Amino acid sequence: MKIVCYKDKILRAINSVVKGVASKTPMPILEGILIQTNDNEIKLTTYDLEIGIEYIMDCEVKEQGSTVVNAVMFSEIIRKLPDSEIYITLNEKNLLEIECEGSLYKLATMNPGEFPELPKIEIENSIEIEQNTLKNMIRKTIFAVSTEENRPIFTGCLFEIENNQLSLVAVDGFRLALRNVYLNKQTNNFSAVIPGKTLNEVNKILLDSFDMIKIGVSKNQALFEMDNCKIVTRILDGEFLNYKSVIPNNWETRIKVNKTSIQDCFERVSLISSSSIEKEKKYPVKVSVEIGKVIISCTNQTGDAKEEIYVSTEGKNIEAGFNPKYFLDSLKAIDDEEVFIEFGTSISPCLIKSVDNNNYTYMILPIRLKD
């Protein structure tokens, strides 16, 4: 095998596949990148038995072949080479030679025949969506995916297609993030829960462009396909939360507020709420809605914080406690200038919605305040 390529192109390919490399495994082959040539293309593949990533790139192939090389060592060497042409050769001793200007490295390789094949997916349902739209949808929901392994189904994001509308839903037991979009092509109703880890990697590979990505699902696998890259992942088993039944339909109190202004208030108050003096404790902030204004405050052994902001209010006065991080994560994901924040009682969920459209909803559960 002998190929010639530019550093920026092969580094982009490596960065796209490297998250499919297994980090802790008794199988050294899974710590590698499979490199295969095909005419004037090379295909890089990684697979940790949960997520598999393939990336195809054009390059000058002088001699066909294939090999597996340790992903960490290979990527770090390429990353640190000069921005120039790189010559990669598998020599007669099965060492991978990497040559660039005055640099020469030789790496041990593994047998490509031992690299496991990515699952063959018999797609039952699929959709196509613009890459920038999916990228936006993932960004607006992924932060609410659970990291608790005792409830595996919530470590993923629900993809639900119903009446030609795609909904992405993430929930961790304390908050919920929902983002909707209508699809251009008619499609069947179906749903699948995709691991959050996979979506993080998909999001890094997606372009901020109108190019399409195809998402296909079978009974237990999902496939994300772009022009030069495909990602295969397992689908999480289990029953996802019936999210429609837990989102309140009515409110007792509603405010209309500039998103940046209230975000800044929460960021300042959270300095006291999560003070470094008591790292193990997170104090809730108190949100008090009165006619024409909201007061956000926190008191603990570090000190006191109080922010007052004038807003448009409807309904009753209310006081409720919240984890400020949950508010901030939601507000940071919103691009709109103004939002509605809706409250029920001091112990019922709070909703953050767009003023101008209904394509996202964030729900946050309150924390009981001490008297």
CATH of the domain at 156: 3.10.150.10
Regarding whether 141 and 80 lie in a shared domain, the answer is no
The pLDDT tens digits for 179-195 are 999 998 899 999 999 99
Answer whether residue 119 is part of any domain: no
305, 270 contact by CB (below 8 A): no
CA distance 23 to 347: 42
Last residue of a domain, one of 59, 87, 114: 114
Answer whether residue 369 is part of any domain: no
Answer whether residue 26 is part of any domain: yes
pLDDT at 276 over 50: no
Residue 150 has what pLDDT?
87
Answer whether residue 285 is part of any domain: yes
pLDDT tier for residue 273 given thresholds of 50, 70 and 90: confident
Regarding whether 280 and 225 lie in a shared domain, the answer is no
Q: What is the mean pLDDT of residues 302-317?
A: 94
Regarding whether 238 and 252 lie in a shared domain, the answer is no
Please state, as a whole number, how many other Cβ atoms lie within 10 Å of the Cβ of residue 253: 18
Question: Of the candidates 17, 265, 223, 247, which has an alpha carbon nearest to the alpha carbon of residue 124?
Answer: 223
Residue 231 has what pLDDT?
97
Regarding whether 199 and 148 lie in a shared domain, the answer is yes
Question: Of the candidates 296, 276, 268, 302, which has an alpha carbon nearest to the alpha carbon of residue 284?
Answer: 296
Q: Can you give the pTM of this predicted structure?
A: 0.91
Regarding whether 191 and 161 lie in a shared domain, the answer is yes
The pLDDT tens digits for 154-171 are 999 999 999 999 999 999
pLDDT tier for residue 283 given thresholds of 50, 70 and 90: confident
pLDDT at 312 over 90: yes
Last residue of a domain, one of 243, 264, 291: 243
Regarding whether 320 and 236 lie in a shared domain, the answer is no
pLDDT at 134 over 60: yes
Arithmetic mean of pLDDT over the chain: 94
pLDDT tier for residue 348 given thresholds of 50, 70 and 90: very high
pLDDT tier for residue 253 given thresholds of 50, 70 and 90: very high
Question: Of the candidates 192, 198, 274, which has an alpha carbon nearest to the alpha carbon of residue 236?
Answer: 192
Structural domain of 299: 247-364
Regarding whether 269 and 232 lie in a shared domain, the answer is no
Percent of the chain clearing pLDDT 90 (strictly above):
88
Answer whether residue 120 is part of any domain: no
pLDDT at 250 over 90: yes
Residue 282 has what pLDDT?
63
Answer whether residue 263 is part of any domain: yes
Answer whether residue 371 is part of any domain: no
pLDDT tier for residue 302 given thresholds of 50, 70 and 90: confident
Which amino acid does the sequence have at 334? I
Which amino acid does the sequence have at 40? N
Answer whether residue 370 is part of any domain: no
Regarding whether 110 and 82 lie in a shared domain, the answer is yes
Regarding whether 140 and 239 lie in a shared domain, the answer is yes
Q: Decide the pairing of beta strands 66-70 and 85-90.
A: unpaired
Residue 275 has what pLDDT?
60
pLDDT at 281 over 80: no
Regarding whether 355 and 251 lie in a shared domain, the answer is yes
- The count of structural domains within the chain is 3
CA distance 351 to 337: 17
Regarding whether 94 and 148 lie in a shared domain, the answer is no
Last residue of a domain, one of 87, 114, 141: 114
pLDDT at 279 over 60: no
Of 17-26, 193-202, 230-239, 338-347, the one with minimum mean pLDDT is 17-26
Beta bridge pairs of residue 315? 253
Residue 280 has what pLDDT?
47
